[in-house]
A = this chain, B = another copy of it.
Amino acid sequence: MEISPFLNKELPESLYMQLYHWIRKEIEDGRLMPGTKMPSIRELTANLNVSRNTVETAYQQLQAEGYLESIPKSGVWVAEIEKPVWHLPPTEHPIIPEKQASPKVAVDFEYGNVDLDKFPIKQWKKCLTDAIDQQNNWLFQYGNKIGEFSLRKEIAHYLQQSRGVRATPEQILITAGTQTSISVLCRLLSLNGETVAMEEPGYLGVRTVFKDEGCHLKPIPLEHDGLSVKHLQTSMAKAIYVTPSHQFPYGMVLPVAKRIQLLKWAYQTNGYIFEDDYDGEFRYRGQPIPSLKSLDEEGRVIYLGTLSKCFLPTARLSYMVLPPSLMELLLQKFAEYNQSVSPIIQRAVAQFMKSGEFEKHIRRMRKWYQRKHQVLLTSIQQYMDTRVSIIGEKSGLHILLKLNGMTASKLIERGLSHGVKVYSPARFWLLPNDEIESIIMLGFGGLSLEEIEQGIRILASCLPKDLEKKGGPPLR
């Protein structure tokens, strides 16, 4: 069989690639049929007047991909291929536009964002590059499965100092977020098919993970001072997820008496308490509340922390403190899993903590958020007075507002048409509840003082006229 590809030395594509593509297309289009004997390398080299290397390389590639077959002492043949199915599909349409057009928003009270003005960018950049300059081959390896030792050491120190948690670095697992932590716990404790309790309302991101892990969710109602332990005691739950330092989203602190009841429940039922201390650092009156974990004597509390609120959401870095026995189980069960947080980020954060920048940053941010928080409360009092009441005003990066004489959805709609975006916390409830209809959520972490004041002023203008201004008791 003779073949006559047209090869052109003037083209940017190398001769062997031209030859490769030509033969491949001949086979794909059915002009070179399976079972056809190809010219030998020597023949084709001579025919085409190219180097032997050109033909050899093209043939090798076609053999490697299965288009040609070399049979020793017989020659090179077109391989047996069923009806080809190639030719690239037409470009598929993008399914979701990257950015949706939305009304212009001047002030966005979205929860979860943090402040950038006071962030020590320069120091953080230095930590990143310093981390990469560290000796040894760590950069080219997969990293410690439970997290870099240097970071776990710094976190252990920090937790002891500021949250009253006593833990060795060996008890700490680094994860890529609280959702990952919860997923790991569900598997570790085999919670699939078991009942897990949560505060009602509670953090949706975690509830979703419990559901996806096959847990039955038991919502536990809140009382004025947090979780109703009575309801928990009759729940048959194997574990409970709680936010004792700052209930999410209501904002109350679980008092010590209830903490002890909660621990007793765990001790008596062999239950586990997942304590999510997501923003325990940001308390504006007095000292931060010590963690529930610091009271735990029997290793029933698993402490969950995150750097998203007190440092950077983009670090995607959370952690857990596990009792030694559970850490041992984890190392067995997850022996084949790699750590999923980049050791580059881990080491840079360790550096940042070790240098003292982290604690300085938290102190600075606590003061700064306190000012924002103050402006938020003052603005609400000034512009909204008795038309709203504030829920959970002592700490954290958000508050709830209970509206008087207007539904949340109406205010959200009106606010948006005036350039102010506020949110309903409805999705944090598992069960329907009449109260939800009149509550909105305001996150202020990422807003400036001016934006907060302006946003509240505009939002107040969207509320019904204040009929009670001249008299009547305040709502709370």
Chain A interface residues (CB < 8 Å from chain B): 17, 20, 57, 60-61, 64-67, 79-89, 91-96, 98, 112-116, 119, 121, 124-125, 128-129, 132-133, 137-143, 149, 164, 166-171, 176-177, 179-180, 187, 204-205, 208, 212, 225, 253-261, 263-264, 283, 285-287, 289-290, 294-297, 299, 308, 312-317, 323-324, 327-328, 331, 336-345, 394, 446
Question: Considering the chains assembled together, what is the distance between the CA atoms of A331 and B208 in angstroms?
Answer: 14
Chain B: minimal CB distance from A18 (Å): 13
Collect the chain B residues with CB atoms within 8 Å of residue A93's CB: 168, 324
Query: Given that A149-B98, A297-B85 are contacting pairs, would A65 and B313 also be in contact in the complex, using a CB cutoff of 8 Å?
Result: no
Question: What's the Cα separation between A323 and B93 when bound, in Å?
Answer: 10
List the B side residues contacting A344 at CB < 8 Å. 128, 314-315, 345
Residues of B within 8 A of A133 (CB): 121, 125
**How distant is the Cα of A383 from the Cα of B121 in the complex, in angstroms?**
55
Given contacts A64-B289, A166-B89, is CB(A312)–CB(B140) below 8 Å? yes
The docked-state distance in angstroms from the alpha carbon of A150 to that of B232 is: 47
A413, chain B: closest CB distance, angstroms = 22
Give complex CA distance A289, B133 in Å: 36
B residues near A312, Cβ cutoff 8 Å: 139-140
Q: Is there contact, CB below 8 Å, between A313 and B143? A: yes
Which of B17, B66, B170, B297 has a CB less than 8 Å from the CB of A287?
Answer: B17
Contact B79 A255 (CB under 8 A): yes
Partner of A327, one of B95, B138, B176: B95
Chain B residues positioned under 8 Å from A138 (CB to CB): 314
Could you give 9 example pairs across A and B, Cβ below 8 Å? A60-B286, A79-B257, A85-B260, A128-B129, A128-B344, A142-B313, A314-B342, A314-B343, A315-B344
- Chain B residues, Cβ within 8 Å of A65: 253, 255-256, 289-290
Contact of A179 among B128, B287, B338 (CB under 8 A): B338
Contact partners of A212 in chain B: CB under 8 A: 187
A81 with B314, Cβ < 8 A, contacts A114-B140, A124-B132, A289-B64 known: no
- A241–chain B nearest beta-carbon distance, Å: 15
A82 touches B257 (CB 8 A): yes
The residue of chain B having its C-beta at the shortest distance from the C-beta of A394 within the complex is: B64
Which B residues lie within 8 Å of A180 (CB)?
A: 340
Question: Which 4 pairs between the two chains have the least Cβ-Cβ distance?
Answer: A66-B255, A61-B286, A176-B340, A66-B256
In the assembled complex, the Cα of A100 lies from the Cα of B94 at a distance in Å of 51
Asked whether, in the complex, the Cβ of B340 is within 8 Å of the Cβ of A342, the reply is no
- Does B336 lie within 8 Å of A208, measured CB to CB? yes
Q: Hey, which chain B residues are within 8 Å of A286, CB to CB?
A: 57, 60-61, 64
Which residue from B83, B260, B290 sits with its C-beta under 8 Å from A81?
A: B260
Q: How far is the CB of A350 from chain B (nearest CB, A)?
A: 14
| Chain B positions within 8 Å of A57 at CB level | 286
From known contacts A177-B340, A286-B60, A338-B179, infer whether A113 and B141 are also in contact, taking CB-CB under 8 Å.
Answer: yes
Q: Apart from A98-B149, A128-B344, what are 19 other A-B pairs with CB-CB below 8 Å?
A: A65-B255, A66-B254, A66-B258, A66-B259, A85-B260, A89-B166, A94-B324, A95-B328, A98-B169, A112-B142, A113-B140, A141-B313, A141-B314, A142-B314, A143-B314, A176-B340, A316-B339, A316-B341, A344-B345
Docked CA distance A132–B350 (Å)? 18
Distance A61 CA – B92 CA, assembled complex (angstroms): 60
Q: Are A331 and B96 in contact (CB-based, < 8 A)?
A: yes
Minimum distance in angstroms from A32 CB to a CB of chain B: 13
